[in-house]
Structure 1
């Protein structure tokens, strides 16, 4: 019989930075459930993923019924489904029993759950109220969710490409100024350090801060990095324009909260948890239902953060070109 503790779960399964919704509203419950599940059962991550899918289906059914008690039930079920969705990865990391196929199943179930619940909510409210705005919101929410997935993966690949180019230039390799096609997977393999254990000639601010949430950016600049390594910050242009950003980011990272405050997780939770919960407001106040305003504000917040990410990436490409010229020199 295993005897995992809450400390084990926190140390071995918590991400160093995560969405604030997960940090404050999911992990405290999920971690305790993981301790009980890992110590007392043989439930596998895939079985937990299936359970999350079942709860998601129940949430969609509740949303489709439309009335406020069902909306509240649907919101609770969706949140519990997300708790289980976080548990499967924690169980896999804790017991080292995850699989590549399991990761694929987890991703596909996530998307099916959100789209199913979102459509059930909007169509259910259209049937219940006759207001066509719910039908108009369906393609908008779908588009923004797909956009943030596409943008997130492409931005990550572009950033990785810039880092690998700079590493190669620091080694003295001939490097062109253009970042390779993000769809290519060869760049990282070609530009990676040539020998296992070889000290990296440069360290990147974003990687140091990601791996050491308790370290502030200023500490990295003044020596909190491997001896002899050169610190490269391809986001210094953004930090220079928004001087308060580093202070806010460092404070958030100390609590494991990433500065991307309205990401896909918050978007899903506001659409399928917060918006349905506001249905109860109209029962006790003269105000109309707040479902539509919450959905609109959620879409606006997600779009705003995606625009900021693109702007930050554009500034980073300019810093990349300057750093590359310095390394060549």
Structure 2
């Protein structure tokens, strides 16, 4: 017997991220939350089951893309969006029911990457087979490279930020309220909250609606290439525009990280000096 259904409000409070990609907030979460409410009482519907279901829809999208026909491209775009919705559901179910596992995280990551690879292969390979235009093969290589690059780049930047944060925390005083090292390299293009500038107001409005100010991340890139491009039939120009947008934002984040790394030795030295001074004062006061 299924358990009593949870409310949508409970799902929002327990599973929504504080900020997320605008595509997820506006076009995925409203549907995913309602589907989670339907399936959450059935404990056999685990995050791993949903990950596999998302992969099935994804490979269905790849099959449609491979044909290269106009109607099939539209169907493929719709199936890809459904795949993404189900893929978002697995994390929500894991947080809601406490059924997430380390293996599930690995499975989700690996199948995501495999699914995207074969979908790209099918979309651009299908267009090459239909038209004989080798430019689609170059476009496929670009799309796969950029998707892989943003994943590797994001993971490595997070690793560097985490290392800086750990070093600063080693000298963090109990009453210190200094921002973490990764605060300066977060994907926030509008600066810190507060202030009366137009940029600050836009940032505050986005954050208030759970939308992060990194407006063209990997999610928007995939959605643009594998939903908007095939549905509109403008595969070549839309993919090029999406690649340019993703690369621009990634380069901006790399620049932000570079600036933070330049300032980090000074911040670390100041934190160490403050920590040593505090320790000396405690020794003096205890004598």
Same topology, TM > 0.5 = yes
Q: Give the deviation of 1:22 after TM superposition.
A: 0.6
CA deviation map 1:233-281 (0-9, x unaligned)? xxxxxxxxxx7654433322111111211111111111111100111xx
Which deviates more, 9-18 or 161-170? 161-170
Aligned residue in 1 for 2:259: 315
1:167 and 1:201 in contact (8 A); partners too: no
Aligned residue in 2 for 1:35: 37
Aligned residue in 2 for 1:128: 130
Q: Aligned equivalents of 1:258 and 1:33: distance in 2? A: 24
* SS at structure 2 position matched to 1:204: coil
Tell me whether 1:303 sits opposite 2:247 in the alignment.
yes
1:30 and 1:84 in contact (8 A); partners too: yes
Aligned residue in 1 for 2:284: none
Q: Aligned equivalents of 1:54 and 1:262: distance in 2? A: 27
CA RMSD of aligned residues (A): 2.1
Tell me whether 1:201 sits opposite 2:176 in the alignment.
yes
2:193 and 2:203 in contact (8 A); partners too: no
Aligned residue in 1 for 2:63: 61
Change (3 A) 1:4 1:207: farther
Which deviates more, 269-278 or 311-320? 311-320
The structure 2 residue matched to 1:265, chosen from 219, 241, 245, is 219
Q: Aligned equivalents of 2:76 and 2:43: distance in 1? A: 28
The structure 1 residue matched to 2:193, chosen from 195, 207, 217, is 217
2:207 and 2:213 in contact (8 A); partners too: yes
Q: Give the deviation of 1:201 after TM superposition.
A: 2.9
Consecutive unaligned residues of structure 1, counting only runs of 5 or more, are 172-198, 211-215, 220-242, 280-289
Q: Give the deviation of 1:81 after TM superposition.
A: 0.4
Aligned residue in 1 for 2:282: none
When you count helix as a share of all residues, which structure comes out higher?
2
Q: Aligned equivalents of 1:20 and 1:300: distance in 2? A: 18
Which deviates more, 312-321 or 243-252? 243-252
Change (3 A) 1:200 1:164: farther
2:193 and 2:204 in contact (8 A); partners too: yes
Aligned residue in 2 for 1:5: 7
Q: Aligned equivalents of 1:47 and 1:115: distance in 2? A: 21
Question: Normalized against structure 2, the TM-score is what?
Answer: 0.85
Q: Aligned equivalents of 1:98 and 1:325: distance in 2? A: 40
CA deviation map 1:115-148 (0-9, x unaligned)? 1111100000111122211011111111111111
* SS at structure 2 position matched to 1:145: helix
Q: Aligned equivalents of 1:207 and 1:4: distance in 2? A: 34
Q: Aligned equivalents of 1:73 and 1:200: distance in 2? A: 56
Q: Aligned equivalents of 1:95 and 1:170: distance in 2? A: 35
Aligned residue in 2 for 1:248: 202
Consecutive unaligned residues of structure 2, counting only runs of 5 or more, are 187-191, 275-287
* SS at structure 1 position matched to 2:211: coil
The structure 2 residue matched to 1:93, chosen from 95, 105, 130, is 95
Question: Normalized against structure 1, the TM-score is what?
Answer: 0.75
2:194 and 2:204 in contact (8 A); partners too: no
Tell me whether 1:278 sits opposite 2:235 in the alignment.
no
The structure 2 residue matched to 1:148, chosen from 143, 147, 150, is 150
